[in-house]
A and B are shown apart, each in its own frame.
Chain A
């Protein structure tokens, strides 16, 4: 186990494309780091660079206290689980797991003990003599994890390990990976494009886009305090509502003006008034998550602004019913209690929990408050 630090790492391909533009990430020993972002954001490239499969153009990567820039993958004390599992097709599960140990000239008895221990831990003992072709996707996934575990490395690297599994298995394996991390206290770097995996698994999340870390922090920090419009929209499902609105002064309050087809309401904002004052009269993007617009019964405190809205569509999900209304000509999703939700065409009183709402500059997409 070891800490990982990535300092000002850049990657430029021979044709001049900048894939990574100065990445800075540091995690402690035993932390679970998620690299998340849309495809092409450079997250897999960064993982390959940590693994030593890709060269670093500039900057430093350190595992523990050791700078590993020039070390080959085998000398970095890492193990990796791939999206395609990458099991050696001609070898049995046992041989797959022991291959890395054999190459490192581990004594036979120790190899056998390790294979036994790992197989029991992952419940794949009955599969040990099978070849990859004779197993299901979930079983191959376990074997791939077993191969990584057998090596007992300083850092585990996971490259979208669950994306080839079906939905149910994915949720199961997600929990298992989390359990494994809690049990082994291992340092893990995990690449995914799935924000739910990111939220559920990570101790720290680095949200990436266009080769830049947009925000680095704990899942809750990133959810509650997104640094910019991209992060706010990427994390969370259903995603945050972005309502174009004007900042207005109304009595002593500063708020945003939202309208539907029957009238307008000013939603007063309890944020830093000095900062808001600079934006009075200007257009902003008002960001508010679906669960922050709800029915009176679900809203957890009184005194929040209320607006009667005309319902366009409802989507019952079971635990909640998503109610869609139109504000400032933008479709807005609200999460309500199933028994409180009204029907399309009807009007419904919606409570806005503005304390957690955020504002973005429409030009720079940066956070205002």
Chain B
């Protein structure tokens, strides 16, 4: 392994190692701290392993920690986030797939203009839509509900998902669609039978992106949801900022990891299916 190790190589590896440590160290500190007792935290070294491993902070973070007035831990908010993220990801991804299919394969008068407008949607900062969106949710009777948050994320995310799918379908030769049209397939048949089966990679990309964005969103959550319907990011903020008595770093750390677990999970599971080149061989080799 070290046979081909030149000075340059060694420097590159050293730099990579340093970067890895830089990014992994906080995770290490969070993990070890979450398993320490408060005394251990106060007296010991931040980098040291726990003297006694204990999971009390985790169960407290999950079920008992105070997030403001309520003291039921993160559990309810975790499910809020799940209830918000799953439908929002599913709807925005499917909408994006259909949109991308239309703007790449079924050009109509003004389709380019429509696509440009959608593209601009990607660059609109969150803050700009806050007030109009609050109005809209009010009109629709969805203010302070999970359904309202789903709507916000679908509207905001569709611009991105459309862009993803459009850029993917534009690489698919349009002769494929022509061939299917001659074979007698219609709009939906072509979409479901020809294009969806080769869209695996872009679905994975889109789902990872949307899941991370929506799960990690704080601003929309804090503005458009209140109390019981808040997502986990807002709850985490409240938990960390609730100051009654002693500051429980171990509980904070455990709560933060709980809030981050689903995105980690999505990366680990979906990343494996991130295989490129499923279309290879459809056209000239």
Identify the A interface with B (CB < 8 A): 48, 51, 53, 72-74, 78-80, 82-91, 99-100, 103-104, 131-137, 140, 147, 151, 164
Contact = CB atoms under 8 A, between A and B. Distances in A.
A82 B179 CA distance: 8
Contact of A84 (B185, B197, B278, B283): B283
A75 to B, nearest CB: 8
Contact of B178 (A53, A133, A134, A140): A53
A192 to B, nearest CB: 16
A53 B181 contact: yes
B181 A84 contact: no
B182 A51 contact: yes
A260 B54 CA distance: 104
Interface residues of B, number: 24
A74 B184 contact: yes
B282 A88 contact: yes
Nearest to B283: A84
13 contacts: A73-B182, A80-B178, A82-B179, A86-B179, A86-B283, A87-B282, A89-B176, A90-B197, A99-B193, A100-B184, A132-B281, A137-B284, A140-B285
Interface of B: 173, 175-176, 178-185, 189, 193-194, 197-198, 278-285
Given A89-B282, A133-B280, A74 B179 contact: no
A88 to B, nearest CB: 5
A132 to B, nearest CB: 5
Contacts of B285: 136-137, 140
Contacts of A87: 282
**9 cross-chain pairs, A with B, having the tightest CB-CB distances, nearest first:** A133-B281, A89-B282, A90-B197, A100-B183, A74-B184, A86-B175, A84-B283, A86-B179, A103-B184
A47 to B, nearest CB: 11
Contacts of A73: 178, 181-182
Residue in B181, B184, B193, B284 whose Cβ sees the most chain A Cβ within 10 Å: B184
B251 to A, nearest CB: 49
Nearest to A144: B179
Contacts of A135: 281
B175 A84 contact: yes
A144 B282 CA distance: 11
Given A104-B184, A147-B183, 18 more contacts: A72-B181, A73-B182, A74-B185, A78-B182, A80-B178, A80-B179, A80-B182, A83-B175, A84-B283, A86-B173, A88-B176, A88-B180, A88-B193, A88-B282, A89-B176, A132-B281, A133-B280, A135-B281
Nearest to B109: A14
A53 B179 CA distance: 10
A84 B184 contact: no
Contacts of B175: 82-84, 86
B185 A103 contact: yes
Given A73-B182, A78-B182, A104-B184, A86 B176 contact: yes
Contacts of A133: 280-282
B284 A99 contact: no
Nearest to B194: A88
Contacts of B280: 133
Contacts of B185: 74, 99, 103
A48 B174 CA distance: 13
Contacts of A82: 175, 178-179
A135 B182 CA distance: 23
A140 B285 CA distance: 10
A87 B279 CA distance: 11
A80 B177 CA distance: 12
A89 B182 contact: no
Contact of B173 (A84, A91, A99, A103): A84
Nearest to B195: A90
B278 A89 contact: yes
Contacts of B182: 51, 53, 73-74, 78-80, 100
B194 A90 contact: yes
A134 B281 contact: yes
A90 B278 CA distance: 8
Nearest to A105: B184
A164 B176 CA distance: 16
Nearest to B172: A89
A99 B285 CA distance: 22
A261 B183 CA distance: 63
A50 to B, nearest CB: 11
A100 B198 CA distance: 19
Nearest to B200: A90
Contacts of A86: 173, 175-176, 178-179, 282-283
A147 B181 CA distance: 13
